[in-house]
Amino acid sequence: MNFKHKYIFLFPGLFVLIGILIFPIIFVVRLSLSGWNSYNGLNFIGLENYIRLFTDDPRFWESFFRLSFLSVTTVFLQYVIGFALAHMVWKDIKFQRFFRVLFLIPMMTTPVIMTVIWRTFFHESLGPVNDILSNFGMSPKWLTDPTLAKITVIIVEVWQWTPFMFLLLLAGLLSLPKEPFLAAAIDGASPIRKFIYVTFPLMAPISIGAIIIRLIEASKIMDTVYVLTSGGPGTSTETSSFYIFIKGLREFQMGYAASMSFTYLIIMIISLTVIAKVLTKLLLKD
Amino acid sequence: MAYADKWSDQFPHIKATGDIAGDCSYEKISKKNYKGKTLKINTHAVPVIGQPTALHAEQFAKLTGAKVDVTHTPAGDLYAKAMVPFKAGQAPYDIVFGFSNFINDWRQYLAPVPKKYINTVEMKDVTKSHVGVSSWDGTMYQYPVDGDRHYLKYRKDVIDNPEMQKKYKADTGKELKVPTTWKEYGEMAKYFNGWDWDGDGEKEYGSAEVMKKDDLMFAAFFSRSVAYAKNPRTPGGFFFDLETMKPNINNPGFVEALTDWVEATKYVPPGGINFGLGDEIGSFGGGQTLFSFSWDDAFIAAMQDDSPIKNKVGTAPLPGADKVWNRVSGKWENKYNQAPYIVWGWAVGVAKKSKVQEMAFDYLCFFSNGANHQADLAIGNFGVNPFKNSDFDPQLYINTMGWDADIANSYTKTLKDMEKSKNRVFPLRVRGVFEFTSAVATGTSKALAGQLSPQEALDEVAKEWEAIVSRVGMKNVQEDYAVGVKMEDNKL
């Protein structure tokens, strides 16, 4: 077989890659240089959309910083809880298999449907949460207080996606070598010292991978916000993706939404690369 | 009547009326043969308008042999779902449902309603204002299936109750009556907020309103604004000054309305500032609040047979105000003012590129034929409201829906008076309308959430409106807006 035949075999993959990745990105860039909306077609307006975004749209930047806060907080909580749960069922405990499956259930449910159920839970006049809390004289405004609404979004995100973190970390724990633990046991290390000096450092590479994967996902928080609060009250839970959705598919400012999407993509690539480097330096220093 | 019985046996939906003779009656449509043809419809989610669309699609398919595919889409996505393929030169749907204020953006992609349908018996019954609503420059692009206005709904068993009136007088020194101003509305709603005033063992609240951002909240805000900002003595634009296209949205009239609305967050049920239209219908229709205002649906839901408050609710025009802003003199006029807000409602059109246009128009004509329309009117969450002259006959509601005569009379009078009013406000129908209404939703929701003061919020909206006008082109918006202003100024 001629060596050049390999390119023929590469072609289907390349074709798909061009079709589903390269072409959409090029199209988004082209769209971002147009004023395409309900009354204009795919014209060319140069960098007008980008100028508007950087000089006259504080709402985009507010939603971006809100998103950063929400994603960092939710991923941190998911990591801590996921690690704790994984650590728990890593050990030989009763009903180990049952718990392993149980902890995965939230991830197997459909996010939009679960968010509708959460919204019903937190409904301030009809929901069971306030029904119970009212017995203790409390009726928090889960969805209508700007601060509490953010916490509600965090609760739902953490509930939904901690199992993903749990799954990755459990797989990591199960693949750890036994020798360092045996050595630590012989040295008489306490469980806490074992965790700090053996388990955690050995888990660092998989932790970094898990955190980065979740940060990429969390930076797209949209369905939870859409169903739970519609970005409200006011704009207090509006995230970048939800804002782009409003501008693009609600107001039909396709050109402007494309410029926001592209800017957002660049920011995310840069910031996630930096975060990955920082985490690697911090956790893998030895 | 013999054939009417035949059809109502097959289609229980019309059991109260049987078939009603017309050009698109069950009898007439059953003569059409669309076997082997497929009709694709994009409509709203179930139940509001989505349910009648699906029901009539099923009936239409049974009568004509056609295959009808119905897609349900959330309200906020209806515009884009049609607009994206329209812009791309495609027509994945033969029929698209939306709001009537989409007309200006959609009309270039819709087929005008053919003369044949404009001359049907059913169409001749449509009110003049709703023919106008469905048309642009004299050409009808949207097929009338619904007619909406905002008005006040109240608990008659409380407001008309002598004991409650005595108690209210003793506690506040004021008369308990149907509120005629937003200030009275607020006082009564606050008084009746958070206690069990109907003795059902549950707490009741003052008012149920659509306050959820991006869920038609802009319409609720305009309903509260018309009293303060629609001055019959200053024609030439409610939303903008037509001559300069300067937004009026942050003038003291609108600010006063938003200030009232922020105050209203204190007398809505818990979570009320997250209420969408469905929540409002459920809340008032379920007997949770004293007042509500917006479309008919909450009232119809309250008057259904299974409602705990059937025949305990009343209707009245939207409250007014004791003062109205004069944008020409820049001063308040201390005169009572009331203005109906005609919200037009659901609209539907046939795609210009559809290959089954005749079948599509037949379906729409069948959707709103006499029997279907009367049956749909009786179901609160169907979202079909009066738009035909025959709808204003109180006997329709007394005989077929079991309403008390005084309630039916006040309901039809409320609607009729709005048709006759010379101080009406119509929704904005300009290019890029969604950008304008979305800006209002964002600004007002910031005020309701306490992020901004009413003045700051509306200044932000005005700034955004100016930017939109500049992007769309002042001449373009002005040209579009002039059509609506003509209607408001009674020149059409």
- Are A123 and B212 an interchain contact pair (Cβ–Cβ within 8 Å)? no
Closest CB from A36, A38, A146 relative to B431: A38
Q: B2-144+346-384 and B151-344+412-492 share one CATH topology?
A: yes
**Nearest residue of B to residue A49 by CA position?**
B471
- Are B270 and A124 an interchain contact pair (Cβ–Cβ within 8 Å)? yes
**Pairing status of strand B289-294 against strand B148-155:** antiparallel
- Are B434 and A252 an interchain contact pair (Cβ–Cβ within 8 Å)? yes
Taking the C-alpha atoms of B374, B375, B376 and B378 in order, what is their torsion angle to the nearest 10 degrees?
Answer: 90
Closest CB from A39, A126, A235 relative to B442: A235
Q: Which CATH class is domain B151-344+412-492?
A: alpha beta
Is residue B3 pLDDT above 70, yes or no?
no
Q: Which CATH class is domain B2-144+346-384?
A: alpha beta
* Sequence spans of domains, chain B: 2-144+346-384, 151-344+412-492
A129/B contact by beta carbon, under 8 A = no
Residue whose structure tokens are 């592209």 = A262
| Mean per-residue pLDDT of chain A | 92
- Contacts across the A-B interface (CB distance below 8 Å): 104
Residues of A in contact with B446 (CB under 8 A): 234-235
- Are A38 and B432 an interchain contact pair (Cβ–Cβ within 8 Å)? yes
B270/A contact by beta carbon, under 8 A = yes
**Nearest residue of A to residue B435 by CA position?**
A251
- Please report the pLDDT score of residue B2 as a whole number: 42
- Please report the pLDDT score of residue B278 as a whole number: 82
Quote the percentage of chain B above a pLDDT of 90: 76
| Mean per-residue pLDDT of chain B | 93
Is there a contact between A223 and A111 (Cβ–Cβ < 8 Å)? yes
Quote the percentage of chain A above a pLDDT of 90: 77
Residues of A in contact with B472 (CB under 8 A): 39
**Nearest residue of B to residue A57 by CA position?**
B464
Closest CB from B87, B270, B442 relative to A139: B270
Q: Which long-range contacts (CB under 8 A, 24 or more apart) does A65-68 make?
A: A66/A150, A66/A236, A66/A237, A66/A238, A66/A239, A67/A219, A67/A221, A67/A239, A67/A240, A67/A241
B353-410 pLDDT, tens digit per residue, is: 999 999 999 999 999 999 999 999 988 789 899 999 999 999 999 988 889 999 999 9
Structural domains of chain A, with CATH: 57-283 (1.10.3720.10)
The count of other CB atoms within 10 Å of the CB of residue B137 is: 7
- Please report the pLDDT score of residue A285 as a whole number: 65
Region A165-170: what's the mean pLDDT? 96
Question: Nearest 5°: phi and psi at A119?
Answer: -60, -40
- Please report the pLDDT score of residue B305 as a whole number: 87
- Please report the pLDDT score of residue B490 as a whole number: 85
Binned at pLDDT 50, 70 and 90, residue A166 comes out as: very high
Both structure tokens of A225: 């916000």
Q: What string of DSSP letters covers A5-65?
A: HHHHHHHHHHHHHIIIIIHHHHHHHHHHTS--SSS--S---TTHHHHHHHHH-HHHHHHHH
Residues 6+ away with beta carbon under 8 Å from A113: none
- Please report the pLDDT score of residue A7 as a whole number: 81
Binned at pLDDT 50, 70 and 90, residue A119 comes out as: very high
Closest CB from A37, A126, A143 relative to B432: A37
Closest CB from B83, B449, B471 relative to A233: B449
Residue whose structure tokens are 């079948």 = B359
A63-94 pLDDT, tens digit per residue, is: 999 999 999 999 999 999 999 999 999 987 88
**Nearest residue of B to residue A245 by CA position?**
B77
- Please report the pLDDT score of residue B5 as a whole number: 66
B388/A contact by beta carbon, under 8 A = no
Q: Give the residue among B280, B144, B304, B158 at the shortest CA–CA distance from B207.
A: B280
**Nearest residue of A to residue B434 by CA position?**
A251
Is residue A1 pLDDT above 60, yes or no?
no
**Nearest residue of A to residue B450 by CA position?**
A234
A140/B contact by beta carbon, under 8 A = no
- Please report the pLDDT score of residue A212 as a whole number: 95
Does A56 or B278 have the greater pLDDT score? A56
- Are B80 and A249 an interchain contact pair (Cβ–Cβ within 8 Å)? yes
Is residue B68 pLDDT above 50, yes or no?
yes
pTM for the predicted model, two decimal places: 0.87
Residues 6+ away with beta carbon under 8 Å from B131: B123, B140, B144
Binned at pLDDT 50, 70 and 90, residue A286 comes out as: low
Our CA-based measurement puts residue A70 at a distance from the nearest CA of chain B, in whole angstroms, of: 19
Our CA-based measurement puts residue A269 at a distance from the nearest CA of chain B, in whole angstroms, of: 29
B423-467 pLDDT, tens digit per residue, is: 999 889 898 888 999 999 999 999 999 999 999 999 999 999 999
Residues of A in contact with B215 (CB under 8 A): 230
Closest CB from B80, B214, B467 relative to A230: B214
- Are A39 and B432 an interchain contact pair (Cβ–Cβ within 8 Å)? yes
A239/B contact by beta carbon, under 8 A = no
A248-267 pLDDT, tens digit per residue, is: 988 899 999 999 999 999 99
Is residue B1 pLDDT above 60, yes or no?
no
Q: Give the residue among B351, B366, B363, B384 at the shortest CA–CA distance from B95.
A: B351
Residues of A in contact with B213 (CB under 8 A): 230-234
State how far the Cα of B329 lies from the Cα of A211, in Å rounded to an integer: 62
- Please report the pLDDT score of residue B229 as a whole number: 98
